[in-house]
Every structure is written in structure tokens, then in C-alpha cells.
Structure 1
Amino acid sequence: MLQRIQTIYLLISALVMGALYLWFPVVLDTSGNTIIDRSEPLVFILIFVSIALAIISILTFKKRQLQFVLNRLNIISNFVLLGVFVYRSLTLSGETLVSEKGIGVLLPIISIVFLVLANKAIKKDEDLVKSVDRLR
């Protein structure tokens, strides 16, 4: 059952978080230097947890309830990552000019959207299975 739509949503979510780690700096100052980098331990751990939870959720396609719980944990980890990004960008010391936020701050939000879509599809599958069991 890897051809279900929630698998595509979860794969896109994992790819978005992988893109966050590989290509995009998180916050840039006016001269182009990175202020918040992906090599910080907390940011690295949260990105790794998000990618790992999405992959594990893809591989547990037979257990829809576990998949649903893993996606919820992934959403929580993405909100924590987003909170870290916002906190770090708002508490920069010695900055006289407003820093330019990179696309990296928006990528956890995109990942959350795809995780919510995957949870909706999983819920729909679970409801379909329950309705078929009721008819038997």
C-alpha cells in the first residue's frame, strides 16, 4: 500500500526537511552571513527527528494508528523547530539593521501542512476500513 496519497505527502515532507538541512541557510543578516545555521545541535537534532519520523511513518503503512501518532509527533517537532527559529531570530544581540529571514524559516510550516494532509488521508482510510468492517 505504498501507493497511497499519504505516502506522497510524507515523502514530500521528508524532502522539504532534507532541503532545509542541505541547501537553505536559516537566517541571514544584511551582509549575507548566516546567523542561525543548520549545524547547531538543537536544529540538527530536530531536523533529523523530523526526517526520521516521516520515513518511519512511510514504512509503517500497515499500522494506520501508529502512522497517525508518528505524524502527530512529527508535527510537534516541526513546531518546536519553528519556535527555535523564531526565538533565535528575535533575540539576536547587537543587530542594528533588520535581518533578512531566509526561506528556511518557512520550510517547517510547509512540512506541517503536508503532515496534516497525510493525517487527513490516514483518517479517511481508517474510517473506510471501519465502515467496511461494520457491513460484515
Structure 2
Amino acid sequence: MLQRIQTVYLIIVAFIMLALYYWFPVIIDNEGNILLGNKEPLVFGIIFVSIALVIITILLFKKRQMQFVLNRLNIILNFVLLGVFVYKSLILSGETLVSEKGIGVLLPIISIVFLVMANKAIKRDEDLVKSVDRLR
């Protein structure tokens, strides 16, 4: 389970999502006030479901097809989270003042990259198992 590279990628995704929730605000104005934080219910729910999907995917290490499907679902969920961040940052009132977009906006993109790499590794494992089954 832990010796497979996709598990390492999935653990990195879980840490990225935890870091997004705990440490990185998304948008801060020039006075230091958090305009779009990660404590909003929608953002919290998406981050929580994403972390839960990663944990479930890691525990389903014997069912590679299910892992592949759950990773794709998690990729879609991260795109939704990215869309929420972009939408909220575009509709902020008082945007004539300079606001600072934090690294929190980029973390879902990094998470998507690691999920795609995990899917490639799962596909490679599945192809290897199928090739060995053909030899039997």
C-alpha cells in the first residue's frame, strides 16, 4: 500500500488540502483583512470531501479501477473548488482597492497535478496486472 507511488501522491494531495484549510487564506486586502477565507461552509465542505476521497482512495489499494474513478471525481471536485475561488474573487465588492491573492488559489491546481500523476501510476499498475494475467 505505502510502497506504491500513487499512495505518496495521494498523501501529498491530502497534505496540500489540509494546508489550504489551515494556513493559507485565499484573498487578503491591503489592510490585512481576509476577504475570502477557507472557513466558509462551501469551501470547507469541498475541502473536507476532497480529503475524505483521498483517504478512501488510499484505503482501496486493491481496487485499482475504483481508485481511478475516485481520483477523477476528486479532480472534478478540485476544479469546482478552483472555480469557487475564482468566482468569489471576481465578485468581491470594493475591488478598486488592491487585494492580494494568496497561494491558496494555486493549491487546488497543484492538487490536480498530483491527482493526475496518481491516476497515471494507477493505470500503469493496472496495465502491469493485466499483462501478467495474460501470461498465465
- Determine if contact 1:27/1:99 at 8 Å carries over to the other structure: yes
Deviation at 1:96, TM superposition (A): 1.4
CA RMSD across the alignment = 0.8
User: TM-score normalized by structure 2?
Assistant: 0.97
Does 33-42 or 122-131 show the bigger shift?
33-42
The aligned residue for residue 17 of structure 2 is 17
Q: Distance in 1 between matches of 2:126 and 2:53?
A: 20
The aligned residue for residue 128 of structure 1 is 128
Give structure 1 regions of 4+ aligned residues with deviation exceeding 4 angstroms: none
2:44 alignment partner, SS class: helix
1:42 alignment partner, SS class: helix
The aligned residue for residue 3 of structure 2 is 3
The aligned residue for residue 80 of structure 2 is 80
Q: What amino acid does structure 1 have at the position aligned with 2:8?
A: I
The aligned residue for residue 37 of structure 1 is 37
Q: What amino acid does structure 2 have at the position aligned with 1:81?
A: L
Q: Distance in 2 between matches of 1:93 and 1:2?
A: 46
The aligned residue for residue 46 of structure 2 is 46
Deviation at 1:111, TM superposition (A): 0.5
Q: Distance in 1 between matches of 2:57 and 2:63?
A: 9
Q: Distance in 2 between matches of 1:101 and 1:95?
A: 12
Size of the aligned set, in residue pairs, is 136
Q: Distance in 2 between matches of 1:6 and 1:127?
A: 15
1:100 alignment partner, SS class: strand
Structure 2's unaligned 5+ residue stretches are: none
User: TM-score normalized by structure 1?
Assistant: 0.97
Deviation at 1:8, TM superposition (A): 0.1
Q: Indicate the percent of aligned positions where both proteins have the same amino acid.
A: 79
Does 90-99 or 73-82 show the bigger shift?
90-99
Does residue 126 of structure 2 align to residue 119 of structure 1? no
CA-to-aligned-CA distance 1:35-78 (integer Å, 9 cap, x gap)? 11111110000000111101110010000000001100110110
2:69 alignment partner, SS class: helix
Q: Distance in 1 between matches of 2:103 and 2:89?
A: 13
Deviation at 1:132, TM superposition (A): 0.7
